[in-house]
Amino acid sequence: MSSLVPVLEARGVSKSYRSRHRSVQALDGVSLAVPAGATLGVVGESGSGKSTLARLLLALDQPTEGTVLYRGAQVSGRRERELVEFRRRVQIVFQDPMSSLDPRMRVYDLLAEPLRALAVPGDQGERVAELLASVELPADAARRYPHQFSGGQRQRIAIARALGPSPEVLVADEPVSALDVSVRAQILNLLASLVRDFNLTLVFISHDMAVVRHLCRSVAVLYRGHLVETGPTHQIYRSPQHEYTRELLAAVPRVRTERVRAH
Ligand code: ADP
Ligand code: MG
C-alpha cells in the first residue's frame, strides 16, 4: 500500500455524550491524518476532547458522526473480532498506570495477557523478558505486582505492555501527567528512544506544549472539541495562528532544563 495513505486518520469525527438531560459535544467535526513515522502532539486544555479523540482513534469508542480509518480501511463500527490485526498494530498508554494495570496480576501476566489475547506468535517468556529490558526494568520485575513499583516504574510496565504486540502506532494519553516532575523526563526520554528504536508512529496527547515541543515534529491543537490549528511544531511555535494556541504557548515556562528528543 502507498506510504502516502495515513496510517491513522479521523475523518470528520464528532462525539457527543448524553448525561441525564444534557448532551455534551466532546468533539465536533475533527479531521486529522497521522502519516506513518509521524510524531504528532495533540494539545489542549482539560476537557478539550483529547481523550475522546484517543478513544475514537483506538476504536475503543464509536464516533457519533464521521469515521476512523487505519491504512485507509474503516475501523469505526467494526466488530471486535474484525479488529484483531488493528489491535496489534495500534496500542495505547493511558495517563494513570494504577488504573490501567490490574493490581491482582503479576507483571509477567500483565505483559503476557495481550500477547495471548492477540495471538502474537513467539515464545511468551522470551518476549516478556525482552519487553522488560526495553523499558529498562530488571528481569525479576516479572514476579512482582504493580503496587510494588513506583509511579514511573508502573508507567514503564504499561509501556512494555503496549509494546508487546510490536505495534506501529503508539497513542499515549498524557502518559506523564500523573507522575512526579522528577520522573517525567525519564519517561519522556524512554518514549523518545522507543520511538526511534522501534520506528513507532507516535500520537502524544498532552496539555503541556513544552513537552510536546521536544517530543513531536507536528502538533494538533484541540479547543472545545474543535481542531483549531495543526502543523509542524517549529512553525506553530514561531507563528501560532489561533488565539488559543498563543494562550497555550504563553503558559509554557521560558527556561527549560530537560531536553527530550525523538528525532
Ligand atoms: P480531555 O481529555 O481533553 O480532558 P475529554 O475527551 O476527556 O477531554 O472530555 C471532553 C468532554 O467530554 C468533557 O466535557 C467531558 O466532561 C466530556 N466527557 C468525556 N467522557 C464522557 C463520558 N463518558 N460521559 C459524559 N461526558 C463525557
Ligand atoms: Mg484526557
pLDDT (0 to 100) of residue 3 = 63
Count CA within 13 A, CB hemisphere, residue 39.
Answer: 21
The answer to whether the CB of 149 falls within 8 A of the CB of 157 is yes
Angle separating helix axes 124-134 and 107-117, nearest 10 degrees = 120
Nearest CA to 66 out of 8, 7, 10, 5 is that of 10
Angle separating helix axes 151-163 and 124-134, nearest 10 degrees = 130
Q: Which ligand has the nearest atom to the CA of 173? A: 2
Residue 168 has pLDDT above 70, yes or no: yes
**Mean pLDDT confidence for 164-182:** 95
Would you place residue 234 in the very low, low, confident or very high pLDDT band (cuts 50, 70, 90)?
Answer: very high
**Mean pLDDT confidence for 216-241:** 95
Q: Name which residue sits closest to atom 6 of ligand 1, judged by CA.
A: 49
Question: What is the distance in A from the centroid of ligand 1 to the CA of 192?
Answer: 28
The answer to whether the CB of 216 falls within 8 A of the CB of 40 is yes
Residue 83 has pLDDT above 70, yes or no: yes
Q: Name which residue sits closest to atom 12 of ligand 1, judged by CA.
A: 26
Give the atom of ligand 1 at the shortest distance from the alpha carbon of 53.
6
**pLDDT tens readout for residues 127-162:** 999 999 999 999 999 999 999 999 999 999 999 999
Nearest-angstrom CA–CA distance, 114 and 203: 21
Would you place residue 253 in the very low, low, confident or very high pLDDT band (cuts 50, 70, 90)?
Answer: low
Nearest-angstrom CA–CA distance, 143 and 101: 15
Can you spell out the DSSP letters for 176-204? TTTS-HHHHHHHHHHHHHHHHHTT-EEEE
pLDDT (0 to 100) of residue 251 = 81
Nearest-angstrom CA–CA distance, 165 and 111: 10
pTM exceeding 0.85:
yes
Strand partners, 171: 92, 203
Query: Ligand 1 — pocket residues by CB below 6 A?
Result: 17, 19, 24, 26, 44, 46-52
**Mean pLDDT confidence for 184-213:** 95
**pLDDT tens readout for residues 89-107:** 999 999 988 888 999 999 9
Q: Which three cell numbers stand for residue 137?
A: 526494568
**pLDDT tens readout for residues 17-34:** 998 889 999 999 999 999
Helices (H), 34-175: 50-57, 84-89, 97-100, 107-117, 124-134, 151-163
**Residue 254 to residues 96, 192, 205, 210, 224: CA-CA distances in angstroms?**
28, 22, 21, 9, 26
**Mean pLDDT confidence for 83-94:** 96
Max Cα–Cα distance, the chain, nearest Å: 52
pLDDT (0 to 100) of residue 257 = 44
Strand partners, 41: 204, 219
Q: Which three cell numbers stand for residue 206?
A: 498532552
**Mean pLDDT confidence for 225-243:** 94
Pocket test for ligand 1, best of 15, 17, 62, 171 (most atoms within 8 A of CB): 17
Q: Rounded to 5, what percent of the chain is helix, strand, coil?
A: 40, 25, 35
